[in-house]
């Protein structure tokens, strides 16, 4: 990158963007979402530990998902808060308010790592559910091994994602803040977003097939208590994973679709409007907060349903006992 001051100075439109009320409101909103994510994650971890709904392997993958979600929220909150502070402290310094892609390199890589991990691990959860359906006996004896292996693969792929996106990037351009991809990496970043959306769609599709298969298998094992329990456990777990996958899909599909559309028509959109829309189109934090929220909701719902069934059975037994007692009294 050239060292001249003019190359790193913000234009008038960029200054409007960097100091706009819309940007500041967005930062406050996304920071609030991040805080809710941290609080809900703590609650979700507690419930996961207390409620024996999931197989050990699935539980490990859910823990991994929560880790990725919080890594993403932490780094995104840092990026947002820095942008918020700079919008006030550098509001009259156009040659200092912009960021170089080189100084943003680490934060941008961690952000991509978090996004990739959230989505790759979602697909990993689907693979885990597939194993539980196709080879239930073997899966039940493997314990936590499938979850550990899939988590290691997910972490490896997530580390590789930002490195592949940035291959050959000279990091010689400027960006409003570290949230944006470097200009030279944009084509690979677009492919990355498309791949993530495709993985989420595949996850939803496969999970729906798994639900259907488990329902059929559950009926076929009606008189085999052990096998039916395994199928029921797989069915409950898969339904929860489908809800999570749907939230991930909405978050990633909205973001990737809107951003790709904007990039294709970038020349027709004013700079300040373009960047403001990109800021507000970043729906990944909502997908992140949805993970612990949906986990808490669905696990509590399963627990409530179980209690209701137990109460109903208990009430039925009591009624029968009372009926037998009344018959004994009737017959003397």
Tokens of 104: 């943003």
Asked if pLDDT for residue 272 goes beyond 80, the answer is no
Asked if pLDDT for residue 222 goes beyond 60, the answer is no
Diameter of the chain by CA atoms? Answer: 107
Tokens of 230: 């395994």
Between 6 and 318, the higher pLDDT residue:
318
Supply the pLDDT for residue 149.
Answer: 97
Q: Is there a contact between 109 and 117 (Cβ–Cβ < 8 Å)?
A: no
Q: Is there a contact between 150 and 128 (Cβ–Cβ < 8 Å)?
A: yes
Quick one: pLDDT band at residue 244, thresholds 50, 70, 90? Answer: confident
Question: Crossing angle for the helix pair 225-264 and 56-89, nearest 10 degrees?
Answer: 30
pTM comes to 0.83
Q: What is the mean pLDDT of residues 67-72?
A: 96
Q: What is the pLDDT of residues 84-113, one digit of tens each?
A: 999 999 888 888 888 889 999 999 999 999
The chain-wide mean pLDDT, for the chain, equals 81
> What is the chain's Cα-based Rg?
25
Asked if pLDDT for residue 319 goes beyond 60, the answer is no
Task: Identify the three-state secondary structure at position 85.
Answer: helix
Strands 174-175 and 99-100: antiparallel
Supply the pLDDT for residue 81.
Answer: 93
Own/partner pairs, 193-197, CB within 8 angstroms, 24+ separation: 193/252, 193/255, 193/256, 193/259, 193/260, 194/256, 194/260, 196/115, 196/116, 196/119, 196/252, 196/256, 197/249, 197/252, 197/253, 197/256, 197/257
Burial of 328 from C-beta contacts in 10 A (0-12 / 13-18 / 19+): exposed
Q: What is the mean pLDDT of residues 279-285?
A: 86
In order of their start, the domains of the chain are 5-331 (1.20.1070.10)
Q: What is the mean pLDDT of residues 130-159?
A: 91
Q: What is the mean pLDDT of residues 275-294?
A: 86
Q: Is there a contact between 174 and 8 (Cβ–Cβ < 8 Å)?
A: yes
Q: What is the mean pLDDT of residues 178-184?
A: 85
């Amino acid at each position: 990158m050239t060292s001249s001051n003019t190359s790193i100075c913000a234009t008038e439109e960029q200054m409007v963007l960097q100091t706009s009320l819309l940007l500041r409101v967005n930062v406050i909103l996304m920071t609030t979402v991040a805080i809710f994510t941290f609080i809900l994650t703590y609650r979700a971890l507690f419930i996961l530990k207390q409620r024996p709904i999931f197989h050990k392997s699935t539980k490990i993958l859910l823990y991994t998902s929560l880790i990725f979600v919080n890594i993403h929220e932490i780094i995104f909150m840092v990026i947002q808060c820095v942008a918020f502070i700079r919008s006030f402290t550098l509001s009259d310094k156009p040659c200092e308010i912009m960021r170089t892609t080189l100084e943003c390199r680490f934060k941008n890589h961690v952000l991509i790592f978090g996004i990739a991990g959230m989505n790759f691990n979602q697909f990993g959860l689907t693979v885990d559910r597939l194993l539980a359906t196709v080879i239930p006996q073997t899966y039940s004896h493997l314990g936590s091994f499938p979850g550990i292996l899939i988590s290691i693969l997910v972490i490896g792929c997530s580390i590789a994602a930002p490195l592949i996106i940035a291959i050959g990037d000279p990091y010689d351009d400027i960006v409003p803040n570290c949230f944006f991809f470097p200009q030279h990496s944009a084509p690979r970043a677009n492919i990355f977003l498309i791949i993530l959306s495709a993985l989420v769609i595949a996850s939803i599709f496969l999970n729906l097939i798994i639900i259907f298969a488990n329902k059929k298998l559950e009926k076929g094992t009606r008189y085999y208590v052990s096998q039916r329990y395994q199928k029921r456990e797989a069915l409950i777990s898969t339904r929860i994973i489908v809800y999570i996958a749907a939230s991930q899909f909405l978050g990633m599909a909205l973001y990737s679709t809107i951003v790709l559309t904007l990039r294709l028509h970038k020349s027709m959109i004013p700079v300040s409007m373009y960047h403001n829309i990109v800021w507000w189109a970043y729906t990944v934090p909502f997908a992140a907060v949805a993970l612990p929220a949906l986990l808490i909701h669905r696990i509590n719902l399963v627990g409530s349903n179980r209690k209701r069934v137990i109460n109903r059975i208990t009430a039925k037994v009591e009624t029968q006992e009372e009926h037998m007692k009344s018959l004994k009294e009737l017959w003397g």
